[in-house]
Structure formats: structure tokens, C-alpha cells
Chain A
């Protein structure tokens, strides 16, 4: 923008200034902005901090423009007559000629000297009209609808709805409570035919099972005959459905969303480190949804990971330290106070030579916990420290073959290219009796690491920390209850080298302790030192001082979107797909 209006003629025009940067000038609600060429109008408005109401548009999906909610008024400079110079205002912008007809903001791109009005009579009338049509056949299910409270239709009704229906005919009846897949319930009367779910299944999940049948007011969303909406990504359709037409079976009628508190965290079911939001009321976790992170999971997450949280408040949860009663058969455990449990463990560990002691830790531990485990091993004086590998099939989208969430962190902190390599050696050692004392942190080594009950019977001392009761704990001399992923703070590094944070959404049950506290207490009990670690921040500080990759970082500096700390060359397949679609201009975001 030029400050000297009189000199415009000689000055470079705004359009040339913008063109030099590959941008265009756009006036939104009377204010001029610059946007890159090819930006959708709706995205331009969003960048100008103006929300255009919309239903079918989703930045990660193509824009079919079928809901018409995003109608705005658009204007361009009129074409000058031959030989006539275009009229310009004092700043060098051409005078905008407003069109009498609105356009949709989601599928049109911005152009040079374009004007957009997101308010005004025309736009307001359009929105009211669209809302009235959308609500004609709406079943008014809000009291029983899980979407209530986060429903776009409700939100726009407050803004642009009429309050009273003018519709005198009978509403069209459509199928309700339809079972279209193992995890999703469909209510066709609530569907507003935005087609987001259809596009998601087609474009992102590559499993196009959803589609519309019938026409007009009878249009019905349905699943392909003979098929089910059973993709491992099906629950994302419930997230993006702007209304309550698609809802999650798992969350169905569990809790109204307005009671839930959101905690940003990360998923711990595989090496991708999907960003998630934990939704809890009081001390109960009710659901998990993906959180936007363009460097990790875009806006999506797999169902298998999303639903893996119910164990947190299951009956198998350990809530107090247990010590095995000696010489009693069958084995029985009795609750022990924490100080006794820690003191007993330390005494036992010290009574057995370090060379006969091994530690099996977990790739599900946070960086802080791994760092303290490393310190514990050094304190005991053993070099036998290994993690338990965990792998599954990768799915070409988000699920990684490495099902441990913190393998990269373990490599960095333990300083080993393969933190799983020592496991077989430890197993053999236990079998041939050269290892007498075993500390198992957060793993069930009978189920996951090839140990047998007989192997564990040979040990003089087995200490286990665990979230749930498990077969290994049955053979332990001391079992210490620890924290599940939703109950702890800490950080992890995903497969592509991104450092991300976990946050606490619910409190620990009973007397369970945070893993880092258990490790700290053990270290102190063995070393007899004075406690200088009071917060998880202190642990991270020590970690940042000792491990080069973490230098200069603090937990709060990591941020909700994470920080890249290593370049592993690992590509998350879903992101590659998304970037290709973006480059091809199919999507915006």
C-alpha cells in the first residue's frame, strides 16, 4: 500500500508488487490482503481471521461445493472499454464491481483485485436460506444426539437459523440407527449430504465404501451393498461429519461432550506418534480424537489406536505396591507401603552382584523414564539393559511397523543403534542361571519377550513395574503400580525424529506412582543420595544436559506440535499422499 496517493501513477501498482511475490491482492470485508495465487477464497478468509460458515469444505479433502453454506459476495474490476484505462482508487487498486449473485468460497480461488464480502444483506439471506433448507427434514434429535454440543448445524442455527419452521408438509423419513460398520452408527435423517465422509473414505482411507443413493430430499447416505464401513480409519468419518449422522459406537451415549475436558497428548500405540486429544470428565477418560499436526498425522488417526484406552480404568489395574509372600503356596501377594517396597527392592538389588543383574525396559517409556533407567543401570553397575521389541504390520497410512512409540528416543538416550539387541542375551542368562536378579519396567516379558514361567522361577529377585496385572507380575517378588499414558507427562521421539509431549488427562488410580518417580526413588535408595529431582521438568533438564540431541530444550519449549530433533529419514506414508494431493491442487490444507 502506498502512503503517497498523489504519486500512484509513477509508483508501481499494488498488483505488480504482489505479482512479484506470486501473490494476488484481495479485499476481504473492505480490507486489502495478499494471498498466494490459487488460494481458495475460504482459506483466504480464514487467514484474514474471518470464518465463513461451511459444512462440506474440509481443508484436507477435495471441495465438491455441495452444501452452499459458504456463499459470499464476490466482485472483480469491470473490464474497461477498448482504449479506456481501468479506474483506480488513490492506493492504486482498481474499483471493484460487485456481482449480484453470490459464489461459494470453498471451491473458488482468489484472483487479482478480487473483492469478497462475508457480511451484508445478500450473504446473510443466503445463509438463512441454506439453513432453512437444511433444517426442513431435520429430525430435531439434539437431546439424544451425541454430536450435540459440537454440531455445526446447531452452531449455524444459532447464528443463521429461524427458530420456527415454516415447513407444513410431512418430513421425509429416512433410516435411523443403521449399523453400517463395527465402529460407526449412521442416522440418515441427520445427514446433511455434505459428502465429507464419502470423500474421506475415497481420498484418504482409499476404501470408497460410502455413497449416496436416491435424489433430492430423498438422498440417502449408504454403504456399498455387501460391504461394511470397517476400515481401520472409519472413526475419522465420525470426527469430520459436521452433524450427528455418523457417530462412534464406542462413545455412543457415554457422555455429553460439554462435560469433557480436552488434553493435548500423543498416541503411544506405534512409532508414528499420532497427535491426539484426550477427552476426560473428572477422572474418567471417555474418548480420544486425532489432533491436527501437518508433520505427523494430518487430521487423522487409526481406529485401533484410538480405541486402545479402556484398559486404563479396567479391573486389572494395579493400585498398590504388592510383595509376594515368601514360602506360601499358591503364590499370594500382600499390599506393601511404598517406602517399604522401595527399600526392599534396593536392598535386594544390592545384595546380588551387579554382573548378575539385568534390566528389561520398555519402548513405551518416555524419554525421561528411559533416561532414569539408564541412570539406574549405571548406579547398579550393570550393562545388561534392553528394551522389548514390538512390531506389527504397517498399513501404508499412519500405523507403523514399529509398535513401540519411543524407539528413536531410546536410541538417542541409551546411545545404541539397536536398543532391543540385548534381550536374547538376557533371556539366555536367566535360563542358564548367570542372571539372578531382573528388573522389568512396564513390560510383560512372558507374553511379549519369550520368557517362560520356569525361566522366571529361577530368579532370586524379580522386580516389576506395571500398569496392569499380567503373567509376569505373577512371578515377581515385588510389583509396583505405575502410570498409563493418559496419566503421565513426559516426551517421546517418533520414528521421523520429532520430539513430542504427553500430558496428564486423568489422575493415577489408588497409590500408583508415576514411572519416573519410582525410578528416581529406586536410584536414591540404592545410591543413598539426596533427592534433587522434584518435578518431571528436573528430569528433562538433566536429560537435556546429558544427551546432545536434547540440548537447549525444555518440556515447555517442545510445544503442542512437537519439535524436530533428529533426521531419521523415515517418511509417514499418509503425509506423502497428502503432500502429493496438495501439490496437484486437489486439496488446500
Chain B
């Protein structure tokens, strides 16, 4: 089998893993002011993702690194084309990461409120930008013969890529609410579940619209299947949430986002970054890929590395499997 195709699939999976994992921790950050009514509740929320958010974030770094190694022209073309959206993502991720670590290090309301704002902003903006970038690579933009963007700095910002941006934001909120319902206890848990049930249809609508749009525009016969999976999984998630089965609902949302990634990247194949101008300039799995030797090396590394990652990240979730509630939160202890 052609290793370039394998790597296209691997990269799609890295993105799916990223959207699944950081999707919920973005959601937790987005909902901080909505669900967290006092500082202790907000600390409960932050601590549900405390041990894992950084590991989740590495998925985007590895997705980017894998694109660089396996499809340099894709990496170069996409990230220079979607320059400003990516910059917003980076700035937001910088603030957000620091905010988690620094928020509890000074014991004043003002300090916490400031970092809470950074967490909220840093959790809304990245899914917006990531959604826009992923839909840009799926829907394409005008390229010249060198694989560079033709047009202005805002070429990647259109109604259809904005739909993609909203799709990932909407998914992240619901996913985060379901995660909080699964990982917290008491009042917060019920509030999170009720919110998830209430907003799910609206919040997932853009994602459903996106997969349908992409299916209509560039889909293959087989990609109808993952599109159907997304709809079914969304429906199941809603139903299980309404029944109070948080774990099943969370898993269904996971199926929905992985299904969406399969649908989007499946429709994209064999392109990696289609040119909406001259189709001859499209970057494809074959013209953007690295040499067979490089792909072979990377395949070996991924064949051992990726399963190991799943094992030890899975272990982390096991170690921190207990629900957290307000009485678990220790008193603030910082230097005077």
C-alpha cells in the first residue's frame, strides 16, 4: 500500500484525536463562567482537565509535525495561507496554557478573574481558528503553481470556512458539558448535563451542516457512511444525555467527531489542499508527499510511538478517573 495514503490517514486521525481530546477541554474552558458559579466550582471545572489538557494539546503539535514530515507542501501551503487564523490560535493557546498554571498562584479575586478571562478567551478562539483551518484544507482556496495562496490575507475567511469554525466551537461546548457531567459530582454535574441537553441540537447543527456541505461538494459514495454516523451519534448522544447516561453520551460525541473527521478527510482525498482556482495547482496526496524513504521511517516511528501514546495517555485518564466535586478542592495555599 502506498505509504502516502497511510500518512494521509494517520494525519486525519491525529486531527480527529485532537478535536476529540482538546474539544472537551476547550469546552470546559468555554463554559467556565456559565457553569462555574463561584471560585470553588470554577476550580472543580479546571481540575477535571488539569492533569490532561497539556497532553491533549500535544495532538495538534504532532498533527502539524506529521504534516511537515509527510507532506511538506501541505504544511507549508496551508499554514502560510491561513496565517492570521493560525496566529489567533497560537496566541490564544499561549494565554490559555499559562492561565491554567498561573491562575491559582496568587490569592486575590482580581488575579483569578483576569486569568479566568484568559481561559475563556483562550478556549473560544482556538476551536474557532482550528475549525476554520480544517475546513480551509477540506474546501480549498485559490493556489498558484508553487502551492502559495493567491489573494489577500483573508482568503481563507469565507462563509463556508466560518461554518467550519462554528462547527468545531459548537461541538466543543457540548463535548465539554458532557465531559463535566461525567467528571464532576453534585450540583455542577446536573447543571452541566442539563445545559448539554438543552444546547446540543443548536450546538451540533453547524457540524452536521458542515459534513453535509462537504459531502455535497466533494464527497465520495463511501463518505455517505461517516456522514450518517455523525447524525446517528449526535442523536444517540442527545438521547443518552437526556437519560442521564453521561459516559455513553460522551462516547457518542466522540464517535460523532471522529466520524466527522473521517467524512471530511475522506471527501478531501486524494487532495490535501485543493485549489479553487486552477485545479491543476491542487496539492494532492501524491504531489505534496515526502519521499518513500522518509515515509517509511516515519511509519516505523509512528507504529511504535502512537500506540504507546494511547496506552500512557489512557493510563492517565484511569489514574484520574474519579469524579471531582467541591469538597475535593483544597484551600488555596500560596506564599504570602
A binds B: no
